């Protein structure tokens, strides 16, 4: 787990008596970050919430960070430039890290288009707790699913810096899990994630 150096030397890290390990033991599962990345329309948010529902049924402590929701509060002051996207991801990483210390399984649904930003997350959260899940979906399928009409606006030049159209998306090189969300049913994708978590001993068996 990486800790950024605070701007003031008078800020000292406080070590809690109730540790992450003790919270995990109480919860009955490990705390990890399931980071869903992919183009807009690839099914990240839908999948994250469906996985959370499944984990909830299994008695797990969870929380979903959704890209749009976060930009209504914590990151409401940021634009969609590459610099502000980097800061958006950094803030989320630090928030997720706090949830992991609380023993929670944190699910995050963000386009997070740049590899350097996802590498930064690994350093903030920790390699063992960061689970990169690539929702692989062809651009044409994402555009067909464009319920918000954002791709259409981006194609028309009404939206700048739109990932996949006027801004790049760098596919993960070695993701923890790849889900072909453009073709696989939602339920199958959910069970693939649950199976992965059981194999990694994040959650228990049936």
105-144 pLDDT tens trace? 999 999 999 999 999 999 999 989 999 999 999 999 999 9
pTM for the whole structure: 0.88
**What residues form DSSP beta bridges with 179?**
135
User: Can you list the positions of beta strands (E) in the chain?
Assistant: 33-37, 62-66, 105-109, 130-135, 177-179
The residue annotated as part of the active site, out of 40, 42, 45, 112, is 112
- pLDDT of amino acid 80: 80
112 is catalytic: yes
pLDDT, mean over the chain: 90
Task: Report domain extents, the chain.
Answer: 20-139+170-199
* Superfamily (CATH) of domain 20-139+170-199: P-loop containing nucleotide triphosphate hydrolases (3.40.50.300)
- Sort 16 into a burial class: Cβ within 10 Å, 0-12 / 13-18 / 19+: exposed
CA distance 198 to 9: 42
- pLDDT of amino acid 95: 92
Asked if 169 contacts 10 with a C-beta cutoff of 8 angstroms, the reply is no
The pLDDT confidence band at residue 1, using thresholds 50, 70 and 90, is very low
């Amino acid at each position: 787990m990486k800790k950024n150096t605070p701007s003031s030397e008078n800020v000292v890290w406080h070590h809690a008596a109730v540790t992450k390990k003790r919270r995990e033991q109480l919860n009955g599962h490990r705390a990890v970050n399931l980071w869903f990345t992919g183009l807009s329309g690839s099914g990240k948010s839908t999948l994250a919430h469906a996985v959370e529902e499944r984990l909830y049924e299994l008695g797990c402590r969870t929380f979903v960070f959704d890209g749009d929701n976060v930009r209504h509060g914590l990151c409401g002051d940021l634009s969609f430039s590459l610099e502000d996207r980097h800061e958006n991801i950094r803030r989320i990483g630090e928030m997720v890290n706090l949830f992991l210390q609380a023993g929670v399984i944190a699910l995050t649904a963000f386009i997070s288009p740049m590899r350097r930003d996802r590498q930064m997350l690994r350093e903030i959260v920790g390699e063992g707790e960061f689970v990169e899940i690539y929702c692989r979906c062809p651009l044409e399928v994402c555009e067909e699913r464009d319920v918000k009409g954002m791709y259409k606006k981006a194609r028309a030049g009404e939206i700048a810096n739109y990932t996949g159209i006027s801004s790049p998306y760098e596919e993960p090189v070695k993701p923890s899990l790849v889900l072909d969300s453009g073709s696989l049913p939602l339920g199958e994708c959910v069970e693939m994630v649950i199976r992965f978590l059981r194999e990694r001993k994040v959650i228990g068996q049936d």
